[in-house]
C-alpha cells in the first residue's frame, strides 16, 4: 500500500524552488508562534488552507484528518488544566474552567493543526530528493539532510505496513468497530509488535544496501537536477517576509497595548 503524501500536480506551488518552500514553511511556523489569540491563528490557518487548495493537495490533508482532530481535541482537554484566567466560565465539582483557558486551548489546537498543514504543503508539493537537495543548498550538512530525507521516506512505508497488517487482521475476523472507543484503541496495541519487527527488518536492509554501495556521508556530492531560484520564488519569499514583518509589528503593538492597559 502506497501512502505517499506527494501529489504530482502541475501547479505554481509545485514549480517553486524547494528552498523557497522550506523557508516559507519556517516563516509560517514563526507567524503561528506570534499569537496566542485563536482569531489571529484561525486567520493563518485559513491562509494555509488556501495554499493547500491552490496546490491541489487537500486530498493529502484529508488523509491526516484523524491526526488533526486528535491534536485539536488533545489540546482542548489538556490546556485548561494548566492555564488559568480571570473569567470563570464553568465550575465542575470545585474545578474552575476559565474563559481565557478555553480560548488559549483553541489557539494551541489551531496552532498545532496549522503546523501539520504547513508541513503538508512542503511534503505534498515537493519530491523527497528535491527536499534533500534544497536542504543541502541551504547549507545543511549532507548527513543531516540524508537523515531527514530517509525519515520522510520511511514514515509512509511504515504507515503502509501498519495499514496492511490491520486489513489482514480484519479479513481474519478481527472486530475493530464495535464497543467504546477506548476498547477499540486497546485492540490496536498488539499491532505494534509486527510493525516494530518490520521497522527493524527494513532498517537493517537499508543499512546493508547503503553499505554494499559504498555509501559514505563524507564523500563529495553532485546533483542530477540542480534547482534554481526564479522570479516567482523571489516574489513568494518577499511577500511572506512582508507578511511576517506586519504580523510581528501587530504582535509587538498588541503586547504594548496590553501592558499599558494593565498598568492603567
Q: Are 110 and 42 in contact (CB under 8 A)?
A: yes
Tell me the C-alpha distance between 188 and 171, whole Å.
Answer: 15
pLDDT of residue 235: 93
Q: Are 220 and 209 in contact (CB under 8 A)?
A: no
- Nearest C-alpha neighbor of 118 from the set 75, 72, 153, 68: 68
Q: Are 106 and 78 in contact (CB under 8 A)?
A: no
Give per-residue pLDDT as tens, 5-59.
788 888 889 889 999 999 999 999 999 998 888 888 999 999 999 999 988 888 8
User: Residue 264: is its pLDDT beyond 60?
Assistant: no
- Nearest C-alpha neighbor of 124 from the set 4, 256, 254: 4
What is the mean pLDDT of the segment spanning 90-97? 68
User: Residue 244: is its pLDDT beyond 80?
Assistant: yes
User: Residue 200: is its pLDDT beyond 50?
Assistant: yes
Considering only residues 176 and 64, tell me which one the structure prediction assigns the higher pLDDT: 64
CA 98 to chain CA centroid, nearest Å? 29
* Direct distance between the N- and C-terminal alpha carbons of the chain, in angstroms, rounded to an integer: 62
pLDDT of residue 213: 76
The 3-state DSSP class for residue 3 equals coil
User: Residue 1: is its pLDDT beyond 50?
Assistant: no
What confidence tier does 240 reach under pLDDT thresholds 50, 70, 90? very high
Amino acid at each position: 500500500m502506497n501512502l505517499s503524501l506527494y501529489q504530482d500536480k502541475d501547479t505554481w506551488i509545485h514549480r517553486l524552488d524547494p528552498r523557497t518552500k522550506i523557508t516559507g514553511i519556517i516563516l509560517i511556523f514563526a507567524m503561528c508562534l506570534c499569537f496566542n489569540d485563536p482569531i489571529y491563528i484561525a486567520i493563518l490557518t485559513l491562509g494555509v488552507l488556501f495554499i493547500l487548495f491552490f496546490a491541489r493537495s487537500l486530498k493529502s490533508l484529508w488523509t491526516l484528518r484523524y491526526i488533526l482532530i486528535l491534536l485539536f481535541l488533545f489540546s482542548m482537554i489538556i490546556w485548561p488544566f494548566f492555564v488559568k484566567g480571570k473569567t470563570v466560565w464553568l465550575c465542575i465539582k470545585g474545578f474552575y474552567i476559565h474563559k481565557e483557558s478555553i480560548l488559549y486551548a483553541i489557539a494551541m489546537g489551531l496552532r498545532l493543526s496549522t503546523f501539520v498543514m504547513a508541513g503538508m504543503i512542503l511534503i505534498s508539493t515537493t519530491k523527497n530528493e528535491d527536499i534533500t537537495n534544497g536542504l543541502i543548498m541551504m547549507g545543511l550538512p549532507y548527513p543531516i539532510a540524508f537523515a531527514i530525507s530517509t525519515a520522510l521516506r520511511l514514515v509512509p512505508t511504515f504507515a503502509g505496513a501498519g495499514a496492511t497488517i490491520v486489513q489482514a487482521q480484519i479479513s481474519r475476523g478481527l472486530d475493530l468497530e464495535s464497543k467504546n472507543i477506548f476498547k477499540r484503541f486497546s485492540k490496536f496495541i498488539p499491532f505494534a509488535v509486527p510493525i516494530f519487527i518490520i521497522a527493524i527488518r527494513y532498517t537493517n536492509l537499508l543499512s546493508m544496501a547503503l553499505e554494499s554501495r559504498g555509501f559514505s556521508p563524507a564523500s563529495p556530492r553532485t546533483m542530477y537536477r540542480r534547482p534554481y531560484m526564479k522570479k516567482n520564488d523571489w516574489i513568494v519569499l518577499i511577500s511572506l517576509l512582508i507578511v511576517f514583518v506586519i504580523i510581528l509589528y501587530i504582535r509587538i503593538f498588541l503586547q504594548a497595548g496590553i501592558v499599558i492597559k494593565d498598568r492603567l
